[in-house]
Amino acid sequence: MIFEQIPLGGNRNFGYLFGDPDSGIAIAFDPAYVPKKFEARAKELGLEIRFIANTHSDPDHVNGNERLQKRTGAQVWIHEASKFKGARLLRDGEAARVGSTELLTIHTPGHTPDSVCFLLNDTTLVSGDTLFVGKVGGTGTDEAARQEYDSLQRLMKLPDHVTVWPGHDFGVRPSSTIGEERRTNPFLIQPDFDSFLHLKKNWLAYKEEHGIA
């Protein structure tokens, strides 16, 4: 399995290129801003981008879809809550196989209603804007925060060794693991939802107090 993190600019966005060497098929995850980076890298690796997988429909994650789709003919995958036209709409728990790799869709609403994480071969989690390194995605309402809390609790049931690859470079390093986030992420060590929500509402003060960038 080939899996590479691709810095994209924007708001420190990350995209990802997955490739199956045996079949030569590639998936571009959230190919925003500079989709040509994905096309060029896939060509270098001898891969063909057949699919574009979006973790959610925020513009800074989908604004490269159309350009990359026109150049490659790739099919767009996104959660059914997005109602994205012309895409394959994914459901929670839906699995797809690319060569020897299984890609599982995990619906993680909160940051947006259509947020998902993609789990590759039970080892690699593309977490979008649901889970960052040491942080979590923004939410606009208490109800959305509740949804996100439940989504994160679900992710915390994954094994410690699963690597976490976020949608933005907002942490002290570009990736993490479920085990590390479970132990150290300020939001994930809260004992209950009320504490989680309180931290969200007081995050700026918490960051200043603890020297978090």
CATH topology of domain 2-210: Metallo-beta-lactamase; Chain A (3.60.15)
pLDDT for residue 116 is more than 90: yes
Tell me the mean pLDDT in the region 195-207: 96
* Alpha-carbon torsion (161, 165, 166, 168), positive or negative: positive
190/153 Cα distance (integer angstroms): 11
Region class of 203: left (phi > 0), else alpha (psi between -120 and 50), else beta: alpha
Please, which pLDDT band fits residue 127 given cuts at 50, 70 and 90? very high
pLDDT of 190 > 90? The answer is yes
- Mean pLDDT for 29-53 is 96
Label residues 5-19 b or e (16+ Cβ within 10 Å = b).
bbebebeebbbbbbb
Domain boundaries, the chain: 2-210
Per-residue model confidence as pLDDT tens digits over 137-181: 999 999 999 999 999 999 999 999 999 999 999 999 999 999 999
Name the CA dihedral angle for 123, 90, 54, 177, rounded to a multiple of 10 degrees.
-20
